[in-house]
A and B are shown apart, each in its own frame.
Chain A
Amino acid sequence: MHRSVWILAGVGAAVMLFAASATATTKAAGSARGATLAAAPFAQSWADVPKTAAARKAKSVLVFGAEQDVAGFNILDANENALWASITGVEPTIRGIYIIDNKGDYHLDLGSSVVATKTSLTITIRPDANWYWGGKKLPVTNKDLVYTWQQQIDPKNQVAGNTGYINIGSYKLKGTKTVTFFWNTTCPAGTEAAGTCATGPFADYRDLFSGAAGVMPSAALAGLDFNTYWADCVCGNDGKPISDGPFYLSNYTKGQGETLKANPFWYGAKPALKEVDFKIITDTNSEIQAMRGGEVDAIYPSPQTALSELKGQTGLVYSSIPGFTQEHWDINVGDPGNPLLRQAWMRQAIAMGMDRHSLIQALYGQIAPGLPPLNNLEYEIGTNAIPQFAKWSFAPKKALALLKAHCSGGPSVPTRNNTSYWTCGGAKASFNFYTTAGNQRRQTSAAIFAQQLGAIGIQLNVNFEPANPNFFGTRLPAHNFDLAEYAWSGGPDPSGFDSIYECGQGQNYKQYCNKQVDALIHAGDSELNATTRTADYEKAAAIMANDVAVIPLYSPPNILVHKSAVQGMQDSNNPTQEGPTWNIEQWHW
């Protein structure tokens, strides 16, 4: 008995020692070369966080459930451009010239004035803007703006998006707070096609140095590599936290969470909370239980039916609003797509044969009642979201009338489980539909629409395939589909959709081409007058709706749940990439 017990004990002790040492020595790796994170690990900070809501209220601490861990906090980097990195680490700490509120409206934040002309863009930083760098106070200067621009246009950097920044060719500093950027008038040969240079004014200048990206601290980041810094902190090259926002990131531990502490040098109203902790809870069901059980005070979950459990629960406030993501169908009007789709009447019939309301009700009826279909291809929400696509709302009889006028062999009335499909000019109204596999929403969508289109004599051959590399990697770029469902990430400003709708552009997978739309989009891209600009995009949206270039479906809702005892969060549900922490300084118990 001794031998086997000792062997067991020895093995167990060895493995336990390994486990304990591995866990006990967990520390965040410093992202700055030669520097390690100076702040204490999340675990030690978390030990001081009161465990009950009442105790947290007494200490002005709030715990927010984070649904995803971050790949890094440099959201200018394409690989780290994630919503939760913005929400938890960047939005509260790195401010931009403008901030976008929950209605999609722009307000000056870090900037005190911005003047855009056809030749230049002049930005003045507010005089009371300072960096908090490990306890030191440093002014935010025009050199930070220049640094941010230089990082965006550096071809070695894997930037998430340099649109607009590549329009800037040179700059001139004035004092320490003002800089004038000059638009390019010409570009070296080949650079425009390569996407590294553009000419003329960039009309969406409010999104430059703004939104979730912000202005980077040039002095603190000196000597660091754009592609590797801020992997696990928002800090300077000495590892100490840096911020010009209401909070600074005092520590972050992968897989566990992060802690924000109030920034004493913040130029805005002093934050009512002393500390905000983000606890990573990646499973939605766990989030729900944590919210019910009081382990967290607020969550910002991805929309799932299980969230209905929280609606109406005493002590909780539940908010759902449409977001900026465009879930839609692409209709391929070029080769090798079905030639029938090049006929406007066929596209119109398909659109009118789809009941988008019923789909939205099936997907989100319990968690976002009243969510409307998407009816504008340029503006998803807000006052500019004129419902141009509403004319193609569900009308199966009208769809049948269109089909009857051009085809034969189909049903005379919409018929459930119909098996008679139209033949139009010798071609069968049968289309190959593709979407991503493993997505429950799209499976439901495909099932519902296949049944509805079948009822009016249009056959849908549904195919699911992996997003990577099949769907996004090969099928869409090769235009090898008739109809495809996926989503675009939108925003309050429609610039950036050029490559989706303009003739021959890289992400115009459906091969839609209308020269008038191109001209209007180009005009909007360079029009500095906001009213004229909006009018240009609206006209383009109206033409695209008329052409049924795509079939917009819906924008998935953004949901925010918080304890009713927490005040200042009534406007926090912000569907832009600013996220719910855009007004974090207003939160209080």
Chain B
Amino acid sequence: MTRRARRRKAAGAPQTYAEKDEREPVLTYIARRILYSIPVLILSTFLVFVFVSYAGNPVATLRGNPRISQNTIHLVELQNHLNDNVIVRYGYWVRDVFTHKLGNSLITLQPIWPDITRTLGHTAQVIIISETLAIVLGVIIGIYSAIRQYSVFDYIATSFSFLGFAMPTFWLALLLQILFVDIYLKWNIRIFYTAGLNSPGQGTWSIDRLQHIALPVITLCIVSLALYSRYMRASMLDVINTDYVRTARAKGLSEWHVIMRHVFRNALIPIVTIAALNIGGLLSGVIITETVFSLDGIGFYFVQRLQSADLYAVMAYLVVTAVIIIVFNLIADVLYGYLDPRIRYD
């Protein structure tokens, strides 16, 4: 609601048509998007359930051990409803999602939810730090590249952006590990650790914890940094050449005022939405990073459970990540409309 609309409301004046339009479409839009998401979620979980069911069988691994009795194999089949058809098994899973918070692991029989919250928290910590760094640095680099277009800095930043896009994540992760181990071996200085989470007793944000997650953060940050710096540069260049910016300059405003007050503010709008979309996408990209650095995150959890054919745990991961991606996509769309009044919700 604008300041003018708030003053009118405080004075008891009736809402204008424009003010009413400002409120109702957003809520309707959000509600409609959520409703559309439900069948998508159901269909995607069903398809994934079917694929994962046929891709893995908890009993098959047991058969590889000649010491496992047939009785045990039979018990496992009964417990996992492996003798029922896939639709019936999907029904059991849906029931467990609502009655047992995503159910129990088919392998360990332990609740899945504590594992999900634990690993999601670790992953969120890494992603948030890397995204924050990437956004801040990317915006700064993008602004300066746009202001100093075709300068040496611009060319260097562009080259590093392309390098960041092209570099495979796992290769960069391994390289960083070797680099910092060699630094330790040569100078006996421990800058960063190469594996594990190891939160210290003092709390989640201590130096030791940051030393452990620094390399995964750097790995994830570099690709996002390349993305944001390029988008910011392009967005800045779009806005810098508009009429109202020319007008602002003509009015005699300082260059700093023009850039930060008019150009930057409007150029930031696409970045906000891209960041919201990127966070959802990072959830899948983080699998490789967590595997290389042995981080107890949700991506690594998913890989471990998939290898064990632990169907319920795999489905739990997929449901959680699907919901997160849907939410962040919705946030991106709503934010975009909110920040840019020219956008109307349909």
Contact = CB atoms under 8 A, between A and B. Distances in A.
A382 interface: no
A22 interface: yes
A256 B115 CA distance: 12
A23 B128 CA distance: 13
A23 B121 contact: yes
B196 A467 contact: no
A290 B194 contact: yes
B128 A295 contact: no
> B interface, by DSSP: helix, strand, loop or mixed?
helix
B60 interface: yes
A549 to B, nearest CB: 15
Contacts of A80: 108
B60 A472 contact: yes
Nearest to B296: A255
A186 B114 CA distance: 48
B124 A18 contact: yes
Interface string A1-34: 1011001100110011011111110100101000
Contact of B177 (A255, A286, A467, A468): A286
A499 B69 CA distance: 10
Contacts of A7: 272, 335, 338-339
Interface SS of chain A: helix, strand, loop or mixed? mixed
Contacts of A279: 195-196, 198
A43 B132 contact: no
Interface in A268-323: 279-283, 285-287, 289-290, 292-295
Interface string A260-274: 000000000000000
A486 interface: yes
A228 B110 contact: yes
B337 interface: no
Interface stretch (B7-15, B37-45, B93-101, B287-295): B287-295
A497 interface: yes
Contact of A72 (B108, B124, B190, B202): B108
B107 A71 contact: yes
Interface in B54-76: 54-72, 75-76
A23 B177 contact: no
Contacts of B125: 19-20, 23
Nearest to B63: A472
Most A CB atoms within 10 A — which of B119, B121, B205, B292?
B121
B121 A79 contact: no
A426 interface: no
B203 A507 contact: no
B204 A254 contact: no
Nearest to B109: A228
A372 interface: no
A319 B250 CA distance: 77
Nearest to B106: A79
Contact of B204 (A20, A29, A228): A20
Nearest to A66: B294
A474 to B, nearest CB: 9
Interface stretch (B18-26, B153-161, B236-244, B300-308): B300-308
A15 B124 contact: yes
Given A4-B339, A16-B128, A231-B108, A473 B294 contact: no
A186 B67 CA distance: 22
Given A20-B204, A31-B110, A283 B66 contact: no
Contact of A287 (B195, B198, B261): B195
Interface in B293-323: 293-294, 296, 300-301, 304, 308-309
B296 A15 contact: no
A69 B304 contact: yes
B71 A22 contact: no
A488 B304 CA distance: 22
B121 to A, nearest CB: 3
Interface in B221-261: 260-261
Contacts of B338: 7
B300 A26 contact: no
B143 to A, nearest CB: 13
A8 B272 CA distance: 8
Interface residues of B, number: 82
A468 B296 contact: no
A23 to B, nearest CB: 4
A24 B110 contact: no
A283 B293 contact: yes
B187 to A, nearest CB: 12
Contacts of A232: 110
A19 B63 CA distance: 40
Contact of A11 (B55, B63, B331): B331
Contact of A469 (B56, B128, B132): B56
Given A79-B108, A255-B197, A289-B177, A159 B69 contact: yes
Contacts of A286: 177, 194-195, 292-294
Contacts of B140: none
B198 A256 contact: yes
A155 B71 contact: yes
A304 to B, nearest CB: 14
B269 interface: yes
A23 B69 contact: no
Contacts of A8: 272
Contacts of B67: 160-161, 163, 489, 496
Nearest to B65: A489
B200 interface: yes
Contacts of B198: 43, 46, 256, 279
B184 interface: yes
A29 B110 contact: yes
A195 interface: yes
B117 A1 contact: no
A376 B251 CA distance: 93
A46 B200 contact: yes
B181 interface: yes
B178 interface: yes
B122 interface: yes
Given A160-B67, A161-B69, A231-B110, A468 B121 contact: no
Nearest to B295: A255
A4 B272 contact: yes
B60 A285 contact: no
A563 B316 CA distance: 41
Nearest to B56: A468
Interface in A47-77: 47-48, 51, 69, 71-72
Interface in A101-124: none
A135 interface: no
Nearest to B279: A15
Contact of B301 (A47, A255, A256, A281): A255
A507 B292 contact: no
A405 interface: no
A237 B32 CA distance: 50
A12 B293 CA distance: 25
Nearest to A498: B66
Nearest to B76: A158
A285 B173 CA distance: 11
B174 interface: yes
A472 B177 contact: no
Contact of A162 (B66, B69, B208, B335): B69
B124 A472 contact: no
Contacts of A23: 118, 121-122, 125, 199, 204
B204 to A, nearest CB: 5
A71 B115 CA distance: 12
Given A12-B128, A282-B300, 15 more contacts: A4-B265, A4-B272, A47-B201, A51-B208, A161-B68, A231-B110, A254-B296, A286-B293, A293-B180, A295-B196, A467-B60, A469-B56, A473-B63, A486-B64, A500-B66
28 contacts: A1-B264, A3-B339, A15-B128, A22-B118, A22-B124, A23-B121, A43-B201, A71-B107, A78-B76, A79-B107, A156-B75, A195-B71, A196-B69, A228-B110, A231-B108, A255-B122, A279-B196, A282-B300, A286-B294, A289-B177, A289-B195, A290-B196, A292-B185, A293-B194, A467-B61, A468-B309, A473-B57, A507-B63
